[in-house]
Copies of this chain bind each other. A is one copy, B any other.
């Protein structure tokens, strides 16, 4: 193989490799999201990353389709996209089996998405996202539930009320306000996009752009609509008090039709939108179907990791392995596997030495891999089935027979 050119070990630009400690963090995020979503009665679904490109060309924001989407043509001349978001997929799945499904439908997924963008903090080309959606419930109690779900996930991660703010707005009433003051109703999409980026541009830039759209100055309505104020009150009844009306909140996607919400980190170091969602009652119409009211949100892993890091809420890495069995002689390797299997059957995770290195070096390997306990297998241990189990963080040794070993070890580890 010497003739082959040396390959790079670098991965594709803007995506991540997950080494075990990184993966443990992903699993931490996902298991918290899963746990809370299922507590709320949401069932997990999934779909392929590949979708027909047409799916995104009708209703997503223009920027996404034109510049930010991965699209290619397959060998059968089909235009294929790597999904940039989950909502069109879940809408497609609901539309495909609408008659067999019973509503309201509570669904969630944890899936990856791709966007072709310049990698930067909080924005990568691939990210993973929880999507939770509630189909078939038109009333404000659906928004109450979906925002509660988002809040309880934040709480499950250890975030306190003061660590984040939930901004909400009614895009329907924003649309009405704008329609009343724009030079022409056709300018509505442009006006929404301008408001969406208002916080990212200067006041001068905003005013210059606004003048093209309207002859009257932009004034946000200070009073929320009845639906929004009712929503804020209902959430307060459920103990959720960090919800604020924001009359300029838009959210990027074209398909939102009513309430929109966005969760912001309150820490100035990470002052950005963490995630959001809203009501999209008309999306199923693109499949030629009667509409199904829907409300949902997407919560991405990259921004959530930044948030949890900023607030010191990320857990420490722990090895999934509880115990490492060292062997005094290489000939004990098979006996070590036999012992390991008996202990695995009793419910603990066990790795065995496979090298001919000295005991000291075997223990070092276990320690470097952050395995909390070791035992050494030799003649006496094989005969007596009693083992000196060493805790690598305290150095303490405990004599245990085989029957009591699993409970001892799992009692001292939390996974």
Contact = CB atoms under 8 A, between A and B. Distances in A.
A72 interface: yes
B148 A41 contact: no
A233 B95 CA distance: 56
B13 A286 contact: no
B20 A333 contact: no
A47 interface: yes
A208 interface: no
A75 interface: yes
Interface in A197-220: none
A371 B38 CA distance: 12
A46 interface: yes
Given A1-B286, A12-B52, A27-B44, A17 B93 contact: yes
Contacts of A234: 334
Interface in A26-67: 26-27, 38-52, 54-55, 58
Assembly stoichiometry (copies)? 2
Specify which of A45, A95, A354 lies most central, judged by the most chain B CB atoms within 10 Å of its CB.
Answer: A354
A338 B41 contact: no
A242 to B, nearest CB: 16
Interface string A91-110: 01101110000111011000
A9 B107 CA distance: 18
Contacts of A22: 45
A68 to B, nearest CB: 10
B10 A288 contact: no
Q: How large is the interface on A (under 10, 10 to 19, 20 to 34, 35 or more residues)?
A: 35 or more
Contact of A47 (B18, B74, B76, B288): B18
Of listed A15, A16, A93, A351, residue having the most chain B CB within 10 A? A351
B126 A286 contact: no
A319 B43 contact: yes
Contact of A15 (B1, B50, B142, B321): B50
Contacts of A221: none
A378 interface: no
B286 A58 contact: no
Contacts of A256: none
A365 interface: yes
A54 B20 contact: no
Contacts of A319: 43
Interface of A: 1-2, 4, 6-13, 15-20, 22-24, 26-27, 38-52, 54-55, 58, 70, 72, 74-76, 78, 80, 92-93, 95-97, 102-104, 106-107, 112, 114, 116, 125-126, 134, 136-137, 139, 141-142, 144-145, 148, 152, 234, 237-239, 282, 285-288, 319-321, 324, 330, 333-334, 337-338, 340-341, 344, 348-352, 354-355, 364-365, 368-369, 371
14 contacts: A4-B286, A6-B286, A7-B58, A11-B52, A20-B45, A20-B107, A22-B45, A24-B44, A42-B320, A43-B319, A72-B72, A75-B116, A136-B355, A145-B337
